[in-house]
Amino acid sequence: MPPNVKDTIIKLIVASLIVGLFLGFFNIDPRALLADFGDTVLEIFSVVASVVEWAVKYLLLGAVVVVPIWLIFFLIGRMRGRKG
């Protein structure tokens, strides 16, 4: 078997394992995935939307603290740069 085919097969196996673990984390069954493909897409979208909603909440909360501190340090650095 040529090395390219062997490498491709190994990559497909690893990618399938990773995707399978990811889908298993969200309790998605392979039979249900094939039987209810449309509903499965909606479920995946719902899970992704809830994760994004959760992440945006904490991103904004952290930005309220981080951005003003960064702005202060940025302005201080600019002021020091102009003096020299």
Please tell me the distance from the alpha carbon of residue 37 to that of residue 20, in angstroms, as a whole number.
16
Judge whether 26 and 44 are in contact, CB under 8 Å. Answer: yes
Ordered by start, the domain boundaries in the chain are 1-35, 46-84
Q: What share of the chain is helix, strand, coil (3-state, %, to 5)?
A: 90, 0, 10
Q: What is the pLDDT along the chain (84 residues), one digit of tens a residue?
A: 667 889 999 999 999 999 989 888 888 888 877 777 777 788 888 999 999 999 999 999 999 999 999 999 999 999 988 764
Q: What is the pTM of this model?
A: 0.46
